């Protein structure tokens, strides 16, 4: 039985409950939203208005939580809901879900074609600044393809994919985009992350990310080997885990996707022990996601970045001098401190 989602009377109430910044809804479909009081949570929320305009969904990608909202819900039901009305709402939501799932699947296939066309049009990366900043340039598994922002925008415009929010993707940021392909457990590329020379990150709009990962080019999509395989949140962190500990590491792209990504990896590498490498965020989301993934994958071990306690005074000073930040929170920070 599908788990009942919490229901709220307005999009504002649902957003507040999940830690997502509310946005005005002008049309049916999805729109990205920022997380409340989280500077690193830009675009990690999603708000969806159903096609009938009567309600929708709010999702926090970092926590993986979702809530429903139906306008006037409390007014109509005085804070309660009858079984008959709940069944009607469930049937309405299910019909909407089936219809929109079909539309989403078509869009995701189109985005997959677009992602591969962007990869085909790209060139070998020439010392991309982001990789230099993260001190992973030239390390095993580091992304090695880039393309200009204008070329990507031209391909996006030519694809003319009908997105749920009605608008095409408009890329901002710098001119050199490092390409990070995102694929499923069978190796099919479904989407791209693009990182400019300033470190700003963009996802290809409409791509499939759930259950998918970034996988280094030299790591096979399937293997019966018993050697460990790692899973981290971001690409630089995954490269750093490999450099520090010698374990090939994949990236789930964000904390909220780690449990689904871990399940896919466990199927692709059935005999391997999976290392779940969580960030040490101030809000604990990275560790929580890694723990959740560990709980659902039998052959797995939890590793959380130990923070400043794992570094010497000189290493901490080196980290702060390079980054201008305080305490390290992920394994890339550790690599920077020890480089």
- For residues 102-122, average pLDDT: 94
Checking if the pLDDT of 91 tops 90, the result is: no
Residue 128 three-state SS: coil
- Report the distance separating Cα 291 and Cα 106, nearest Å: 33
Q: Within a domain: residue 102?
A: no
Give the span between the Cα atoms of 153 and 169, in whole angstroms: 8
Q: Name the pTM for this structure.
A: 0.75
Closest CA to 217 of 301, 113, 143, 111: 143
pLDDT for the residue numbered 164: 66
Q: Residues 17-51: pLDDT tens digits? A: 999 999 888 777 778 889 998 877 677 888 988 87
CB 66, CB 87: distance < 8 Å: no
Q: Which of 34, 63, 81 is the last residue of a domain?
A: 81
Last residue of a domain, one of 81, 113, 130: 81
Confidence at residue 129, expressed as pLDDT on a 0 to 100 scale: 96
Task: For the chain, report the end-to-end CA distance as a whole number of angstroms.
Answer: 51
pLDDT (0 to 100) of residue 1: 38
Region of 173 on the Ramachandran plot (φ > 0 left; ψ -120 to 50 alpha; else beta): left
Position 43 in a domain: yes
Cα 314 to chain centroid distance, Å, stands at 33
Does 79 have pLDDT greater than 70? no
Q: What is the edge-to-edge ordering of all strands in the sheet holding 229-232?
A: 249-251, 229-232, 274-278, 300-304
Asked, for residue 37, whether it belongs to a domain, the answer is: yes
Q: How far is CA 85 from CA 52, 66, 92, 97, 220, in A?
A: 17, 21, 10, 18, 50
pLDDT at 125: 92
Read off the pLDDT of each residue in 102-106 and give the average, rounded to a whole number. 86
Residues of the domain holding 27: 7-81
* Beta-carbon contacts of residue 79 (< 8 Å; ≥ 6 apart): none
Residue 246 lies in a domain: yes
Average pLDDT of the residues in 285-298: 90
Count of structural domains within the chain: 2
* 26, 61, 81 - which closes a domain: 81
What is the domain-level CATH number for residue 339? 3.40.1360
- CA 287 to chain centroid, in Å, comes to 15
- How confident is the model over 182-197, as a mean pLDDT? 95
SS3 per-residue string spanning 270-310 = CCCCEEEEECCCCCCHHHHHHHHHHHHCCCEEEEECCHHHH
Q: 331 lies in a domain?
A: yes
Which of 20, 10, 71 is closest to 46 using CA atoms? 20
The stretch 297-304 carries a mean pLDDT of 91
For residue range 236-282, list pLDDT tens digits in order.
999 999 999 999 999 999 888 999 999 999 999 999 999 999 998 88
Scanning the structure block, which residue is given the tokens 């990690």?
Answer: 44
Q: Is residue 299 a part of any domain in this protein?
A: yes
pLDDT value at residue 201: 92
Q: Is residue 281 a part of any domain in this protein?
A: yes
Q: Is residue 193 part of a domain?
A: no
Give me the pLDDT at residue 103, please.
Answer: 83
In DSSP terms, 302 is beta-bridged to 276
């Amino acid at each position: 039985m599908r788990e009942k989602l919490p229901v709220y009377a307005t999009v504002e109430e649902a957003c507040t409950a999940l830690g997502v910044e509310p946005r005005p809804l002008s049309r049916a479909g999805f729109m990205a939203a920022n997380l409340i009081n989280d500077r690193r949570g830009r675009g990690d929320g999603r708000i969806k208005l159903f096609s009938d305009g009567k309600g929708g969904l709010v999702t926090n990608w970092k926590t993986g939580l979702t809530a429903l909202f139906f306008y006037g819900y409390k007014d109509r039901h005085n804070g309660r809901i009858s079984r008959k009305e709940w069944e009607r709402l469930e049937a309405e939501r299910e019909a909407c879900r089936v219809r929109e799932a079909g539309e989403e699947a078509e869009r995701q296939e189109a985005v997959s074609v677009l992602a591969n066309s962007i990869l085909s049009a790209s060139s070998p990366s020439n010392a991309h600044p982001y990789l230099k900043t993260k001190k992973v340039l030239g390390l095993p598994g580091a992304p090695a393809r880039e393309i200009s922002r204008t070329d990507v925008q031209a391909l996006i415009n030519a694809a003319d994919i009908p997105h749920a929010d009605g608008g095409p993707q408009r890329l901002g940021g710098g001119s050199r985009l490092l390409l990070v392909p995102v694929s499923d457990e069978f190796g099919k590329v479904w989407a791209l992350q693009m990182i400019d020379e300033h470190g700003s990150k963009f996802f290809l709009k409409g791509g499939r990310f759930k259950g998918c990962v970034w996988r280094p080019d030299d790591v096979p999509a399937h293997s019966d080997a018993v050697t460990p395989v790692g899973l981290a949140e971001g690409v630089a962190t995954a490269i750093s885990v490999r450099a520090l500990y010698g374990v090939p590491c994949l990236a789930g792209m964000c904390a909220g996707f780690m449990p689904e990504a871990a399940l896919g990896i466990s199927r692709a590498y059935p005999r391997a022990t999976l290392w779940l490498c969580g960030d040490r965020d101030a809000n604990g989301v990275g560790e929580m996601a890694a723990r959740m993934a560990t709980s659902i994958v039998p052959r797995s071990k939890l590793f959380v970045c130990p923070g400043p306690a794992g570094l010497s005074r000189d290493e901490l000073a080196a980290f702060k001098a390079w980054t201008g930040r305080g305490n390290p929170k992920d394994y890339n920070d550790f690599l920077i401190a020890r480089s």
